Structure 1
Amino acid sequence: MITVFIIFSIFILYNINSMTNSLCIKREIPEERQPKVFRTINVLITILLISSYVEILYT
């Protein structure tokens, strides 16, 4: 179960990062702000994935 969820999580993070990159390009976010945008989105998505795993684990 955990291996499937880890593979799923990697796939989700990759897709979210590609969408974030598209957002940065489309909105013309300056290069110096892009790492902060990526870090914030990655942390939030990681929290969401961990909470989803815990919910699946305990239901």
Structure 2
Amino acid sequence: MAIAYLFVLLAVFILFYINKLTNALCVQKEIPEERQPKVFRTINVLITILLISCYVDILLNVK
């Protein structure tokens, strides 16, 4: 159970940091304001899928 809490805590940190990096990408590549929400949404969905699949993998292998 402690692994689950640790993973959730790290997942929140990872999502926060990925959003920070995405913002830096948008600034550096001068992505228009209209397209930025789509970029953030796409990256957040993909990272969330990755984190959920890692969580399931960890749960199945820890038993």
Rounded to whole Å, the distance in 1 between the matches of 2:33 and 2:41 is 13
Aligned equivalent of 1:37 = 39
Divergent runs of 4+, >2 A: none
TM-score normalised over the length of structure 1: 0.97
Is 1:54–2:62 an aligned residue pair? no
Radius of gyration: which is bigger? Answer: 2
Unaligned segments of structure 1, at least 5 residues: none
Query: What value does the CA root-mean-square deviation take over the aligned residues?
Result: 0.4
Residue 2 of structure 1, CA deviation: 1.3
Tell me how far 1:47 sits from its aligned partner: 0.1
Q: Percent identity?
A: 64
Task: Give 5+ residue unaligned stretches, structure 2.
Answer: none
